[in-house]
Amino acid sequence: AQSVTQLDSQVPVFEEAPVELRCNYSSSVSVYLFWYVQYPNQGLQLLLKYLSGSTLVKGINGFEAEFNKSQTSFHLRKPSVHISDTAEYFCAVIRGSQGNLIFGKGTKLSVKP
């Protein structure tokens, strides 16, 4: 079985501050990892994904994430956030090329002026 744990349900930050949203997964086999963003009253949109290769993955809107196999983590980072980054962020995992997306419970990022 595999699961995804997002360690923080809510993260408040001030505008232009750096942010890290944490994600840990459990799996005994190789995984594909994803971060999705959901703006208020909208569907989810892919931010970035890790399938293989470089462990540092860059996504849209200035976000990046680093795959750490030894720590089974895939934390999302942004060096300077904007008000418009206020949204809910979901980490998700697929085991290899099989199976379906398993989502974490989400982290609500609130950016304050």
Partner 1 sequence: DAGITQSPRHKVTETGTPVTLRCHQTENHRYMYWYRQDPGHGLRLIHYSYGVKDTDKGEVSDGYSVSRSKTEDFLLTLESATSSQTSVYFCATETGTDEQYFGPGTRLTVT
Binding site for partner 1 (CB under 8 A): 9, 32, 34, 36, 41-46, 49, 51, 90, 94, 97, 100-101, 103-106
Please state the closest distance from residue 39 (CB atom) to partner 1, in A: 11
Residue with smaller CB distance to partner 1, 79 or 96: 96
- Smallest separation (angstroms) from partner 1 to the CB of 105: 4
Minimum separation from the CB atom of position 66 to partner 1 (A): 19
Q: State the distance between the two ends of the chain, measured CA to CA, in whole angstroms.
A: 41
What is the spatial distance between Cα 33 and Cα 39, in angstroms, rounded to a whole number? 20
Q: In this complex, which beta carbon is closest to partner 1, that of residue 22 or of residue 49?
A: 49
Quick one: 48 or 111, whose CB is closer to partner 1?
A: 48
Find the helix or strand (DSSP H, E) in which 25 lies. strand 23-26
Q: Shortest approach of partner 1 to residue 46 CB, angstroms? A: 6
- Give yes or no for a contact between 31 and 94, defined as CB atoms under 8 angstroms apart: yes
Query: Left (φ > 0), alpha (ψ -120 to 50) or beta: where does 7 sit?
Result: alpha
62 close to 79: Cβ distance less than 8 angstroms: yes
